[in-house]
Structure 1
């Protein structure tokens, strides 16, 4: 019996291997193209997309391959920060755990995918996530949430018919409600929509689904055997084209929905076909549903080979369930989540490092900008300094030119002023110092013209004429000398001058004038008192001073002349007393710089030319002195 069982099991395994080979040979061009493109692509977003596409393709016929491709895709997407790749991988994980009846994890992964797609505003993937959530909640038995997400997915799909999951929503809707009398119109609408969409892509999953449900909806209007044959033909054709899942769908619908309607169906034959297809695909849920039915059918007839086959399948599923119960949530899932957490930490560390690099680059850029700004500022300062220096030197040149021009103008003004002063002084000298003597001479001349018998008066008048003439001549000589000293080519040539001789000569000349006022002239001059001066200019000063004192001193007065020498400087002092207070004297005392007779100004000018000075001084109320230093 055991040998027979082993022979039967060997035959079953050989049949399954042959069936798998036939299925592999019947893979679509799309599947082969995915593998070819995967070999050509490297680490990139397109590579992640191809891995996810292969994972999605295998979720219908090979769940282990589905999980493997999804894991690889998620690892690369996390490392590359590919949000779309992560969302697609989470969707494939949700499909895997839905097939494995771990609905809690399926819902978690669906929500993760939905969160990413909402952030990306990806309407197509949002529709897929809503549809998958509806499937997961329906499998969990939560029909309220399942219908909510179905409606949301259909509404989004109706607005955007080009979305990839709209046809899946239509297929799910037909699966749930195709034989519901209350939804006949909705089912017809869904069939039209699905037929229109699937016609663009013949022999695809949605194309077979559309034809299967169209055949089922016509079961009441056509002979049943004809309808059954059409379904079997569609299932066989789908299997040949590498879509065993569509064959399984057709057989499951016959067994689940058509048999309860009362039609004559060989349920055991359909159950065996469903069992083999589910085992090939790896759909444990369908296997678990078929085994009890088949086991109970063959147990009374004691068909030990089939009983052993189904018993072994039950044992394998039980062992798998036990290992899954301990492995998926505790080992695979937790380790996977830990690995995912590690990837997230690495991603955060990478982001921090990238942020640090960006900060460093930003600092370098800011430093570069600051250096450029400082360099530009320095250049501007240099330009400003150059402009300022140029303006300053231009201003200095202009100022010097103006100063030179002003100096020239000032010099000319000084010369003009000097000329004006010279003319004014000359006119003043002529007006003051020549008028009085000439008037006296004219007065005497008129007296002579009228004639007089007084001989003494005649002699006195002759003496006055002589005195006035001599004084006029002396003044004229002094004025000529002063005029000569005002010229620019005048050169001062000092000679030794004996003060004693010069004073004696002057006293002899003014003795008559002093005698008229009974004046006494005293001298105190050291012997051999010699000074370096211009003899004519110094003698003019002596003569003018003594004549001024004779004019200012009252009758019976005294004129005292003293000369002192000290440290190479000669001081000449001529003092008259008592002084008759007259308006000219008051003006001399109050305003010594504005003498009444401008001839004294000439004396001061002579003293300045010779390097000396002349001043007027009154120490006592009745004395008056002229002092010069040379």
Structure 2
């Protein structure tokens, strides 16, 4: 009965959309049959474009035919809005076909026309879709730049719906990089706007994206709640493409709940709707989801069909993430079938695609960071220029007033002039202070950028270049397999160093860009110490160094656990770096009345007073080589100092050359009120 009910709802939805298209066609025929009909009538052209948009997810060939006719008629009639909308519809057609460059070309043409003729709403719509295409292309820097510009224009003209759509799209950028928490920030902004507007369909679209993001965060109850609200709206309004998307999300939720039969059921409902719509990009996620569901149900032959469909469709429209997932599934399927040749082929394809996407995502993250900084700097510069211009205008006004009052009454003018002069001086001092603060902020941003690029170029490019050189020698036959394997331990150390450096680099960059928020909570110090000792145990064993934990069990502090984890890891890593073979490192904690004093002691190389004085300087680039020539970025201790102070603590060091170093820092203990609150 439930299956029949869903099938009936699907049929009703299809029927409703067909009737809408038939209604538009009837309107078109009425216009054509009227006495004074002209194909250059703007009403006729708009009707053509409405039908084209209605066919977008149902018959793409009709879209291109109708758009072409509308464009030709618009040019003859000199109908600018018709031209812009025609190019925009062209762009949507090529986007759905996976031809991103052609889509970008048409959206750019639509935007340029809208900008030239001051069609602000069409400009916002075109720039948003242009940004979305750059996102599909993987050019996240340009995508974010266009989204930020679109938000600025939409805010200027108070296009609330456009603002919400852009927030949804920016959330999609962060979801592509698995940064679901940041994606949720933009989705919640979009939700607030829709609740203010009061349009249930727009709200349902955002809620479905929120549901998908909650599913990725494994907040499955919240995901189910939001997707059920969206489904109710789309079933009522008969919007097939979004309903298919919601059914696919519901299947994903049940898949994560390990309820595979229910997952298949909802995926099937989405599959039924995809028979009525043309949305290849959305269908790839559905096919990969069904593959996983059938694999878990031990129905490998059915899973193979869906995985192959997903693979072929991903290749057709150039979706690398779809190729990665489907090739991984096919590799597992053929391995089970003992067809090891095919399994190996798909596994190698998965590996290449995975590495390519990983490298691309790292570059995208840096490009997004640079774009946001550059955009904020440009915006700040415009604000400063506007403020200077306003200040000039105010001065001209004051001068004019003074001249008028000179002719009116000299005595009053002198008195008034003194008062105005004092007021002006005060304003100028205030403006000067504001400018100095803003200049200091811009200088700090520039120093942060320079240091980021310096570290990336100096400390990361070297090990990576060495790795590439070894691979090139091995590939060209100038190095034997045994010789290459001899370098594997060294390569592992280099890769571990790169990984550790990147973690410090991103954490430090986040604190410098004011993006790091300290979230205090009850933190078990002993567990953090144990995790980091386990993490660094391999390095310690390589140098035969003893790691001794003297932190009492259940030693609890009031701090941000993530930041304490970074502090402990950096201090232990530094101690390992500067402690010779067969050395000893001790980490412990002294619990005082209000604070906990944590220490990391080693019997390593030690430091001079000059080095100690430079250790915690914010802009220090001081780098020292370890006992085995280990190299760092000079960021670690600066990062530790910032995070200790954010957790209301202090950090210091005692050291002597040849005797070792002892690092100490304090963190507040849990007070009674915190315990009661917890």
Q: Who wins on radius of gyration, i.e. which is larger?
A: 1
> TM-score normalized by structure 1?
0.41
> TM-score normalized by structure 2?
0.38
